[in-house]
Amino acid sequence: MKVETRYRVHQHRKFEQSGRKYAADLESDTIVEINDVEWELLDQNLTETLYATVERLRSKFKIEQIFEGIERLQRLSQRGQLSSPTWSTYIPSQSDRRLKLLVPFQFVPEKSVQDPVTNENRFHLLVALSKLAELETFNINGEPGHDFGGFVSNRDIIEKHSNFWFPWYAMDGYDGILLLGQFPSHDILYYSKNLPVLRCLESDRRMQALILESALNSYTAQKSTDLILSKATWLTDWLSEFGVDSAGVHTISEGINVVEPIGKELAKQHAAVLTDNPLFAQRPVVGIISGFEPNAGMRNILDIATANPHLVFFVYDSILADAYRNPLSNLVIFNASDESTRSVLPIFFQALDVVCFPAVPGTSPSLVLEAMAYGTPAVVISKYGLPPEIEGAGVLVQCPAGKGNDLEVPMQHLSETINQLLSDTERCEKYREVAKGFVAKYTWERTAQEIVRLFKQGSARANTRCQSSTPLSLCQPLFCRYYDPRTGMAYPSVYRQETNRFERLENALAEVLSKHHTPAEVESVFKHFQREVPLAGNGLNRSG
């Protein structure tokens, strides 16, 4: 999808004669007969947004008439009459007032699919964001509104007489769009072409396939004002394996939710009672915040637990907790599936001596940071290196590089690293101190502030941009077959009337696709047909 082309209306004069309306274009020396809608459109010199135009005129004309008028003026523009497409794009200017953000979100269905931690985090994010910006969501045609406790207002949309879809209502009145939804409704593909759009990617394990699909779609559709928001650097690194350039992704850690600490010894005792497993109070406790693929995860967890009978393993895994019924004696698999289990999770976290986690998309970054915030050093299993989020508070177990979700865990190295760390009290203490600082470092306020900053930065970047990423085409191509009498055959080609020349078809194909599609989309098409993209500099322009 491309940013909407803007038009400069030529110097003109409108007049009526013999019951008909005309516009005399003083720049192209042509006269165009116009109708009432087009008369009104020219009155505003096409400076309004599409939304404002339709809303202004719909009391006088049918929506179909309004669009027909707009489309006719665009067609005339292609013939050089009445207006010309401009090089710049329209982005509404921003003052210092509070931003108004649209958060279109199918809250109820998404809430039922995601786990409580994800839902809880989303709640905290919206609360924090509502202190810095006005948040609004849609309520279509009288559907029961969602109660957000007043920090996200409902905009009622009642459309009895038109067939507009959600994105129409995003066209005006907002400074940006925050997409939280993970369902593949392709919403980013529809939403306002003129506003910054930030799309949050979740780490919910049940939606990993959707996360990748969403990310790939979002990345391809991005304007320079848009960003994908990743919650962890390893998620960003994972996306880059699939061609998502890091320039289009911004990593913002979520805030973390910590309770008043009760001390490690007491926490271990509570953990022993809660799990009915006295080993929690007797041996070092190793936590694993698991985002492993379930079968591989089960193997890895059993391996590490079996190889270290002197340790107790507390595994947080929302899938294995339900599926695995006969754990080893030194292994507990836990899931915070409701308020009650969520409320005891901090006790388990405080009981940990070390927390391990694989740097994979399914691992919850907020739970990792939450566990560490109680003063727990980390062992990261990663193919990307030590994540900056935990620098100074953990060690790395480097995995071999590989594409996709596969993670080859060097189990012996992992086992050794955990045991070394547990026995190195000096290093552990250093890491603990850094980890305790996460409470102040990773807050919801900070996350919200960063999001608002990105919206403002996006708008500013758009306002200073003066040239679209793809030059406008002046000589419209005509795709045809070129007959060669020497061979008696006809070859696909392109004809330019203005220069009376035949050219290579691929050049013109890229050119015409670029009118309605981003450079990344054009690249996608050419990749599919295994052709080189002919236009120079046709990568997605991130410098904006």
Q: Which of residues 61-90 bind other proteins (CB under 8 A)?
A: 63, 67, 75, 79
Q: What are phi and psi of 424, to 5 degrees?
A: -95, 85
Per-residue string for binding with other proteins, 91-130, x by CB under 8 A?
Answer: ----------------------------------------
Stretch of residues binding other proteins (CB under 8 A), selected from 11-19, 356-364, 368-376, 435-443: 11-19
The terminus-to-terminus CA distance of the chain in angstroms comes to 16
Residue 507 Rama label (left phi>0; alpha psi -120 to 50; beta): alpha
Does 481 participate in binding other proteins (rule CB under 8 A)? Answer: yes
Stretch of residues binding other proteins (CB under 8 A), selected from 207-215, 275-283, 285-293, 388-396: 207-215
**Binding residue for other proteins, selected from 522, 533, 538, 541, defined by CB under 8 A:** 522
Does 398 participate in binding other proteins (rule CB under 8 A)? Answer: no
Nearer to other proteins, 186 or 453 (CB): 186
B/e letters for 300-334, b = 16+ CB within 10 Å, e = fewer, are bbeebbeebeebbbbbbbbbbbeebeebeebbbbb
Does 472 participate in binding other proteins (rule CB under 8 A)? Answer: no
Helix (H) or strand (E) holding 270: helix 264-275
**Binding residue for other proteins, selected from 415, 495, 503, 544, defined by CB under 8 A:** 495
Question: Per CB under 8 A, which of residues 218..237 are in contact with other proteins?
Answer: 220-221
Contact call for residues 280 and 266 (beta carbons, < 8 A) = no
CA-wise closest residue to 88 among 460, 458, 463: 463
Does 534 participate in binding other proteins (rule CB under 8 A)? Answer: no
Question: Per CB under 8 A, which of residues 291..350 are in contact with other proteins?
Answer: none
Does 483 participate in binding other proteins (rule CB under 8 A)? Answer: yes
Distance CA(376)–CA(436), nearest Å, equals: 8
The residues pairing with 354 across neighbouring beta strands, listed in sequence order, are 286
Stretch of residues binding other proteins (CB under 8 A), selected from 82-90, 217-225, 291-299, 385-393: 217-225
Question: Per CB under 8 A, which of residues 242..301 are in contact with other proteins?
Answer: 242-243
Nearer to other proteins, 417 or 469 (CB): 469
Nearer to other proteins, 31 or 428 (CB): 31
**Binding residue for other proteins, selected from 19, 425, 528, 536, defined by CB under 8 A:** 528
CA-wise closest residue to 174 among 197, 143, 140, 151: 197
Distance CA(410)–CA(168), nearest Å, equals: 52
**Burial, 4: exposed, middle or buried (Cβ in 10 Å; 0-12, 13-18, 19+)?**
middle
**Binding residue for other proteins, selected from 132, 434, 512, 535, defined by CB under 8 A:** 512
Q: How far is the CB of 155 from other proteins (least distance, A)?
A: 16
The residues pairing with 382 across neighbouring beta strands, listed in sequence order, are 398
**Binding residue for other proteins, selected from 400, 423, 484, 542, defined by CB under 8 A:** 484
Helix (H) or strand (E) holding 483: strand 477-484
Q: What are phi and psi of 249, to 5 degrees?
A: -125, 140
Stretch of residues binding other proteins (CB under 8 A), selected from 211-219, 266-274, 355-363, 407-415: 211-219
Stretch of residues binding other proteins (CB under 8 A), selected from 270-278, 281-289, 391-399, 518-526: 518-526
Does 185 participate in binding other proteins (rule CB under 8 A)? Answer: yes
Stretch of residues binding other proteins (CB under 8 A), selected from 129-137, 184-192, 301-309, 359-367: 184-192
**Binding residue for other proteins, selected from 94, 480, 507, 535, defined by CB under 8 A:** 480
Per-residue string for binding with other proteins, 33-62, x by CB under 8 A?
Answer: x-----------------------------
β pairing state of 477-484 and 489-496: antiparallel
Distance CA(336)–CA(315), nearest Å, equals: 11
Q: How far is the CB of 88 from other proteins (least distance, A)?
A: 21
Does 482 participate in binding other proteins (rule CB under 8 A)? Answer: yes
Nearer to other proteins, 26 or 259 (CB): 26
Question: Per CB under 8 A, which of residues 124..183 are in contact with other proteins?
Answer: 162-165, 167-168, 171
**Binding residue for other proteins, selected from 274, 344, 525, 535, defined by CB under 8 A:** 525
Q: How far is the CB of 417 from other proteins (least distance, A)?
A: 29
Contact call for residues 274 and 301 (beta carbons, < 8 A) = no
Q: Which CA distances in Å does 172 have to 16, 103, 264, 535?
A: 33, 14, 53, 34
Helix (H) or strand (E) holding 185: none
**Binding residue for other proteins, selected from 3, 6, 25, 313, defined by CB under 8 A:** 25
Distance CA(57)–CA(66), nearest Å, equals: 7
Nearer to other proteins, 453 or 516 (CB): 516
Torsion of CA 161, 167, 169, 172, to 10 degrees: -140
Q: How far is the CB of 166 from other proteins (least distance, A)?
A: 8
Nearer to other proteins, 180 or 369 (CB): 180
B/e letters for 503-536, b = 16+ CB within 10 Å, e = fewer, are eebbebbbbbbbeebbbbbbbbebeeeeeebbbe
**Binding residue for other proteins, selected from 149, 278, 492, 539, defined by CB under 8 A:** 492
Residues 6+ away with beta carbon under 8 Å from 528: none
Residues 6+ away with beta carbon under 8 Å from 297: 290, 317, 319, 320
Q: How far is the CB of 86 from other proteins (least distance, A)?
A: 19
Residues 6+ away with beta carbon under 8 Å from 316: 287, 288, 289, 290, 334, 335, 336, 345, 348, 364, 367
The residues pairing with 136 across neighbouring beta strands, listed in sequence order, are 102, 153
